[in-house]
């Protein structure tokens, strides 16, 4: 690999990284805005969140195309190849996080006019804040190639999972007390899931950072169990025996 070729490749990888970080910022903004929409019942702002997702999608498509061009035309190897592949997968996780925030804005429209009990309002904000923190840390890990931080995100996600459980319990209690009707309770339970899934995407990003920096693939216990079961039954295992 000539020096000029290497410089061109690294310039392209840096450009991809900059675009991914920008996409992460857009998703973070969408998270904050969708939460405000839910708590204020601002329908004009809800529509803006939904409409602005088109820009997030456009940036995501540009990143995907840029990664594919880099793979096809510059044939990166070793750590450079991992950086491009990780960016491609991280791009997908961020884009999906943006879609989840569109779902939050749509939920706000479906329950327009609902008055939330104080505990519900507080838990909505806490879940939003925690999901935003995880997303921000995952993008920091990616931008700084911080593998240990990326790996730590799985443990950090426990707080968001606990908040989701508290939120769902609060929803049940508010509905039982008559302060929250059934349609609103259902929508809020979905909102809890949207925030929790955003945290899961941040964890996925962290795992991709670990792969990018250390070459360590994410572990999937369910997949390992499936492979073990197939092996025990003498069934062929996809990918086994490949060089």
Residues in the chain: 243
pLDDT grade, residue 120 (50/70/90)? very high
Q: Is the pLDDT of residue 16 over 60?
A: yes
**How much is the average pLDDT of 104-133?**
96
Tokens of 193: 């899931």
Contact criterion met (CB below 8 Å) for 134 and 153: yes
Q: Is the pLDDT of residue 64 over 60?
A: yes
Distance CA 74, CA 68 (A): 10
Query: Nearest to residue 202, comparing CAs of 145, 142, 120?
Result: 142
How sure is the predictor about 232, in pLDDT bands with cuts at 50, 70 and 90?
low
Q: How many CB atoms within 10 Å of residue 6?
A: 12
pLDDT, mean of residues 144-164: 96
Rounded to the nearest integer, the mean pLDDT of the chain is 90
* Terminal-residue alpha carbon distance, the chain: 25
Banded model confidence at residue 77, pLDDT cuts 50, 70, 90? confident
Look at residue 228 and tell me whether its pLDDT is greater than 80.
no
For the four alpha carbons of 163, 97, 138 and 27, in that order, the dihedral sign comes to negative
The per-residue pLDDT for range 159-203, each reduced to its tens digit, is 999 999 999 999 999 999 999 999 999 999 999 999 999 999 999
Q: What is the pLDDT of residue 118?
A: 94
Give dist(CA 161, CA 156) in Å, integer: 10
Average pLDDT over residues 215-235: 62
Return the SS3 of 75: coil
pTM above 0.85, yes or no: yes
Contact 171, 120 (CB under 8 A): yes
What is the 8-class DSSP label of residue 179?
S
What value does the mean pLDDT take over residues 79-88?
Answer: 94
Sequence-ordered list of residues with C-beta below 8 angstroms from that of 28, at least 6 positions apart, any chain: 132, 135, 136, 139
CA distance 212 to 208: 6
- The pLDDT assigned to 5 comes to 72
Query: How does pLDDT run across 21-47, given as a tens digit for each residue?
Result: 999 999 999 999 999 999 999 999 999
Q: Please say whether the beta carbons of 12 and 79 come within 8 A.
A: no
pLDDT of residue 242: 46
Residue 3 confidence (pLDDT): 73
Angle between helices 182-214 and 118-144 (to 10 degrees): 20
User: Domains of the chain by range and CATH?
Assistant: 3-220 (1.20.58.220)
The helix-helix angle for 78-110 and 118-144 (nearest 10°) equals: 160
What is the residue whose two structure tokens read 């992460």? 24
Residues in Cβ contact with 188 at an 8 Å cutoff, skipping those fewer than 6 apart: 107, 111, 116, 120, 124, 167, 171, 180
């Amino acid at each position: 690999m000539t020096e000029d070729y290497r410089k061109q490749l690294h310039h392209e990888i840096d450009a991809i990284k900059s675009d991914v970080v920008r996409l992460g910022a857009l998703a973070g903004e969408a998270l904050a805005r969708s939460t405000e929409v839910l708590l204020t019942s601002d329908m004009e702002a809800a529509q803006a969140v939904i409409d602005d997702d088109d820009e997030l999608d456009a940036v995501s498509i540009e990143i995907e195309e840029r990664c594919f061009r880099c793979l096809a035309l510059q044939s990166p190897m070793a750590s450079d190849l991992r950086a491009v592949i990780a960016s491609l997968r991280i791009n997908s996780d961020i884009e999906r996080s943006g879609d989840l925030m569109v779902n939050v804005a749509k939920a706000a429209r479906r329950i327009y006019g609902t008055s939330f009990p104080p505990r519900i309002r507080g838990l909505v904000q806490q879940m939003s804040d925690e999901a935003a923190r995880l997303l921000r840390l995952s993008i920091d890990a990616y931008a700084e190639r911080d593998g240990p931080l990326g790996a730590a995100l799985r443990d950090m996600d426990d707080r968001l999972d606990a908040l989701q459980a508290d939120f769902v319990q609060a929803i049940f209690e508010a509905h039982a007390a008559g302060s929250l009707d059934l349609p609103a309770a259902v929508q809020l339970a979905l909102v809890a899931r949207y925030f929790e899934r955003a945290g899961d995407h941040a964890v996925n990003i962290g795992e991709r950072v670990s792969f990018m920096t250390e070459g360590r693939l994410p572990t999937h216990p369910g997949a390992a169990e499936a492979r073990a079961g197939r092996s025990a039954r003498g069934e062929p295992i996809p990918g086994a025996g490949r060089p």
